[in-house]
């Protein structure tokens, strides 16, 4: 469909342009979020429909409506006295001359002239703006109501921290899986996924349908599954590559500070942790738990009885976690890092330990150690001025991100640090959350690309769109997304915001599309090695 | 009906219109029909907006004669001079002209000439003329003894008969009117009500 929709009749750069629909175009066929092209005199503009409205030349028509039961009168009035209006916010522009075409679409600095023709975008337009599938770009879905492949530059995407948001049940997990596969195929980055609900590694659930394949099933040779709960993984028939155990001696005061809310610790108790750590050293948890009361505290420690009890109660909760042992026999961090260095993506399954304490503790601990490693390696590489020494870019995927990144703890957790420092040390985040309003606004503002499914809470919508230009327009698009399988993407990795329908995931054909034959051949070759 | 039917002769002319007299009593073209006059170098197109039949001499009004007659025809039969003492005239609003092959829907540079023959337009000419609706504006803005909306409706109805798809023609005309009359909803509704099929 390349038919003309209408003409530009008014507008401004700030507020977007008003388009009057031709009588041949029905307002009922329009939809917010659609991608349109405006043919200006010298330039072509690309934009998105952000609002639709009804207009009339004479206000009296609304007071004394004509007799539209007569099809003749209805047909005459449609598009003349009464007409549809579109509100389009232009985002990109491309000049008509050769150099401009080479440069590609640029952000708009002006708007199309009066009465420029507006058309639905064609496949060529979408490809011009978003590119075609190639070694860097990955097909993530179709723009709304279009049969065109929307491609995302994943090389660009992983350079920043990104977020995926949406109410529960809107398809965040499916979207994340698609993105993870994209990163695995099209970028140099490796992924470390903290898989709270065991959705990504081996198999995932689908509402009202059979389970869907996870990453490991599709990319056997490039994904490793680690587990905290070996027994549970075995039950589910997952072939795991390693078990993660955590020793008391690996837990540091900052880890406890992060758990303050979940463990119900007082501020004083968190203070006390630091003192105890200084005094007891690595073994501080065991030593603290062994204390019978405040009177047994070593010299120089001034901790109130109540505070100590509060702390001991909290630490006991941690100790009860089955994967915590006095001394861990395996160095989980080392094992995971080895995989990551070989370019193998790691999914850490939590098995039955889905409570938030376990998730926050483990994700934070592992990430911090891995990040420290990355930091020192990058610093070494910088000192030696050798780009080749730098570790592979790492993307850490966390769910329930507001637990790590809420304003109270974002300053203390490693995730807050990663989000703020961006890619200085080659580590970025992929944040998945259903309550973006719970995330620190500073962290939100640092996110490069945001993909959001339907959100209906005003505060959530505001926090996702904070700092985005044209947010009022996007807000109306976001609020009107379908409850399932529609998302809006905007930010660093896409030239302009676009609403899209994620590509299919879960059918046999979709698996073949995601993981072409080549992978199987590699696996067979590996067998002979 | 002949391809080009002569319907009268111009007896009074101005830039905006002309009056023509019919050769036969009561043989005037219907309201709203498109007529033309002039030679091939400069043809004027007009729309019939008014017709009158009156005595040749303004001072002598006709009198009732049918008291002892059975039918109206009988009056004319018993007084054959009547056909010569009365005359039919029609008034035409000029809405366009043709110079060479080009048709313009605006006023001509010169008015019609007295004694110019007036012809009814053929269906092909009607079709050709109906390609543009600029003439509607002239009708709507003219100060005529008949209401503008009546004349617009009559002319469109007649013009539509020359088109194969009458409805499409009338819808297109209606849309043009909707734009012209965007500030006058009642007038628009009146016309639409008169031209719908």
Domain residue extents for chain A: 4-121, 163-244+330-528, 248-320
Q: Which residues pair with A433 in a beta bridge?
A: A165
User: pLDDT > 90: what percent of chain A?
Assistant: 5
A328: alpha, beta or left, given left = phi > 0 and alpha = psi -120 to 50? beta
Mean pLDDT, residues A272-299 taken together: 78
- Across the interface, do A73 and B179 touch by the CB < 8 Å criterion? no
For the stretch A231-241, pLDDT in tens is 888 887 777 78
pLDDT digits (tens, 9 = 90+) for A77-101: 888 888 899 999 888 888 877 777 7
Cα separation, B46 vs A159, whole angstroms: 74
* Distance set, CA A10 to CA A7, A17, A86, A88 (Å): 9, 6, 11, 11
Nearest by CB to A60, which of B178, B185, B192? B185
Q: What share of chain B is helix, strand, coil (3-state, %, to 5)?
A: 35, 25, 40
Partner residue opposite A75 with nearest CB, options B171, B177, B179: B171
Q: Which residues of B touch A81 (CB under 8 A)?
A: 178, 182, 185, 188
Average pLDDT score over residue span B161-184? 89
Is the Cβ pair B178, A80 closer than 8 Å? yes
């629909």: which residue's tokens?
A21
Could you tell me if the ipTM is greater than 0.85?
no
Does the pLDDT at position A303 exceed 80? no
pLDDT digit string, tens, across residues A475-514: 888 888 888 888 998 888 888 888 888 888 877 777 777 7
Contacts of A68 in chain B (CB under 8 A): none
Specify the number of domains making up chain B. 1
**May I ask the CATH class of domain A163-244+330-528?**
alpha beta
Contact flag B185-A61 (C-beta cutoff 8 Å): yes
Averaged pLDDT for residues A252-281:
80
Residues 6+ apart with CB under 8 A from A353: A228, A229, A321, A322, A323, A359
CB A433 within 8 A of CB A399: yes
Residue B166 domain boundaries: 5-195
Measure CB to CB from residue A72 to each of B171, B177, B188 and give the nearest one: B171
Task: Give Dmax over CA atoms of chain A in angstroms.
Answer: 97
pLDDT, position A8? 93
Question: What values do phi and psi take at A156, rounded to 5?
Answer: -70, -40
Calpha distance A224→A195 (Å, rounded): 12
State which residue of chain B sits closest to A23, comparing Cα positions: B175
What's the rounded mean pLDDT across residues B3-17?
88
Residues of A within an 8 Å Cβ radius of B: 23, 57-58, 60-61, 64, 66, 70, 72-73, 75-77, 79-81
Residue A174 has pLDDT above 50, yes or no: yes
Q: Of all residues in chain B, what percent carry a pLDDT higher than 70? A: 98
Sequence-ordered list of residues with C-beta below 8 angstroms from that of A190, at least 6 positions apart, any chain:
A340, A343, A344, A345, A346, A392, A393, A394, A395
When CB atoms are compared, the residue of A23, A75, A81 closest to B182 is A81
A6-35 pLDDT per residue, tens: 999 999 988 889 999 888 888 888 888 888
Give the pLDDT confidence score for residue A290 in this predicted structure.
78
The confidence band for A368, taking pLDDT boundaries of 50, 70 and 90, is confident
In the DSSP assignment, the letter for residue B99 is E
Residue A527 pLDDT class (50, 70, 90 cuts)? low
Q: Which of A52-56, A117-121, A299-303, B26-30 has the lowest mean pLDDT?
A: A299-303
Residue A11 neighbours by CB under 8 Å, 6+ apart: A17, A18, A88, A111
Rounded Cα distance, B131 and B137, in Å: 14
Question: Would you state the pLDDT for residue B1?
Answer: 43
Question: Helix B134-141 and helix B166-180: axis angle, to 10°?
Answer: 50
Residues of B in contact with A79 (CB under 8 A): 175
Which residue of B lies nearest to A22 if distances are taken between CA atoms?
B175
Contact pairs from chain A to chain B, CB under 8 Å? 44
Residue A525's pLDDT band, with cuts at 50, 70 and 90, is: low
Q: Which residues contact A79 (CB under 8 A, 6 or more apart)?
A: A21, A22, A23, A24, B175
Query: Minimal Cα–Cα distance from B112 to chain A, Å?
Result: 36
What is the C-alpha to C-alpha distance for residues A403 and A356, in angstroms, rounded to an integer?
Answer: 8
User: How many residues in chain A?
Assistant: 529
Helix (H, G, I), strand (E, B) or coil at A34: coil
pLDDT, mean over chain A:
82
| pLDDT exceeds cutoff 50 at A1 | no
């Amino acid at each position: 469909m390349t038919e003309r929709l209408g003409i530009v009749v008014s507008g401004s750069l700030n507020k977007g342009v008003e388009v009057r629909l031709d009588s041949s175009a029905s307002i009922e066929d329009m939809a917010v979020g659609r991608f349109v092209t405006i043919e200006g005199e010298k330039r072509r503009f690309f934009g998105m429909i952000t609002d639709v409205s009804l207009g009339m030349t004479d206000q009296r028509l609304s007071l004394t409506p004509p007799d539209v039961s007569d099809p003749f009168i209805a047909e005459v009035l449609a598009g003349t006295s009464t007409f549809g209006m579109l509100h389009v916010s232009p985002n990109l522009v491309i000049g008509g001359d050769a150099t401009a075409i080479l440069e590609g679409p640029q952000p708009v600095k002006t708007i199309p002239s009066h009465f420029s023709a507006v058309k639905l975008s064609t496949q060529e337009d979408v490809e011009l703006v978003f590119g075609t599938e190639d070694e860097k770009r990955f097909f993530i879905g179709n723009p709304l109501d279009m049969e065109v492949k929307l491609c995302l530059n994943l090389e660009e995407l992983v350079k920043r921290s990104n977020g995926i948001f949406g109410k529960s049940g809107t398809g965040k997990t499916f979207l994340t899986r698609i993105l993870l596969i994209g990163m695995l195929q099209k970028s140099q980055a490796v992924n470390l996924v903290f898989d709270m609900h065991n959705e990504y590694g081996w198999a995932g659930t689908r509402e009202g349908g059979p389970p869907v394949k996870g990453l490991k099933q599709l990319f056997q040779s490039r994904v490793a599954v680690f587990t905290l709960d070996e027994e549970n993984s075995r039950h589910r028939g997952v072939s795991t590559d390693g078990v993660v155990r955590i020793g008391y001696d690996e837990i540091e005061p900052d880890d406890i500070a992060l758990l303050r809310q979940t463990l119900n610790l007082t501020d004083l108790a968190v203070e006390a942790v630091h003192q105890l750590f200084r005094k007891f050293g690595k073994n501080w948890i065991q030593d603290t738990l062994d204390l019978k009361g405040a009177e047994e505290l070593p010299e120089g420690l001034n901790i109130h009885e109540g505070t100590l009890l509060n702390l001991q109660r909290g630490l006991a909760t941690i100790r009860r976690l089955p994967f915590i042992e006095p001394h861990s026999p395996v160095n989980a961090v080392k094992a995971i890092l080895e995989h990551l260095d070989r370019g193998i993506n790691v999914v850490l399954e939590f098995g039955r330990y889905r409570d938030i304490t376990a998730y926050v503790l483990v994700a934070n601990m592992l990430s911090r150690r891995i990040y420290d490693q990355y930091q020192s390696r990058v610093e070494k590489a910088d000192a030696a001025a050798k780009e080749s020494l730098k570790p592979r870019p790492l993307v850490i995927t966390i769910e329930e991100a507001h637990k790590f990144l809420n304003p109270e703890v974002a300053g203390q957790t490693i995730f807050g640090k990663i989000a703020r420092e961006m890619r200085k040390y080659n580590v970025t985040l992929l944040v998945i959350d259903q309550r973006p309003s719970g995330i620190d606004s500073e962290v939100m503002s640092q996110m490069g690309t945001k993909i959001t499914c339907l959100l209906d809470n005003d505060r959530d919508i505001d926090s996702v769109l904070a700092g985005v230009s044209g947010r009022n327009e996007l807000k109306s698009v976001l609020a009107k997304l379908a409850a399932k399988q529609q998302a809006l993407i905007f930010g660093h990795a896409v030239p302009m915001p676009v609403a899209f329908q994620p590509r299919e995931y879960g059918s046999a054909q979709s698996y073949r599309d995601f993981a072409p034959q080549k992978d199987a051949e590699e696996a067979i070759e590996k067998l002979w090695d | 009906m002949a391809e080009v039917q002569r319907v009268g002769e111009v007896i009074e002319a101005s830039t905006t219109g002309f009056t023509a007299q019919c050769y036969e009593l009561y043989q005037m073209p219907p309201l709203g029909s498109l007529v033309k006059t002039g030679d091939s170098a400069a043809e004027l197109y007009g729309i019939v907006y008014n017709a009158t039949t009156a005595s040749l001499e303004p001072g002598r009004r006709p009198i009732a004669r049918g008291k002892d007659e059975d039918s109206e025809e009988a009056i004319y039969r018993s007084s054959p001079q009547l056909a010569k003492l009365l005359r039919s005239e029609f008034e035409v609003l000029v809405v366009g002209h043709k110079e060479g092959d080009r048709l313009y829907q605006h006023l001509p540079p010169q008015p019609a000439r007295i004694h110019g023959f007036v012809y009814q337009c053929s269906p092909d000419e009607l079709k050709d003329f109906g390609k543009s609706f600029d003439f509607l504006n002239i009708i709507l803005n003219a100060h005529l003894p008949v209401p503008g909306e009546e004349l617009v409706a009559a002319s469109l109805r007649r013009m539509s008969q020359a088109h194969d798809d009458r409805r499409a023609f009338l819808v297109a005309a209606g849309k043009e009117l909707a734009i012209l009359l965007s500030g006058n909803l009642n007038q628009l509704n009146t016309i639409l009500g008169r031209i719908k099929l």
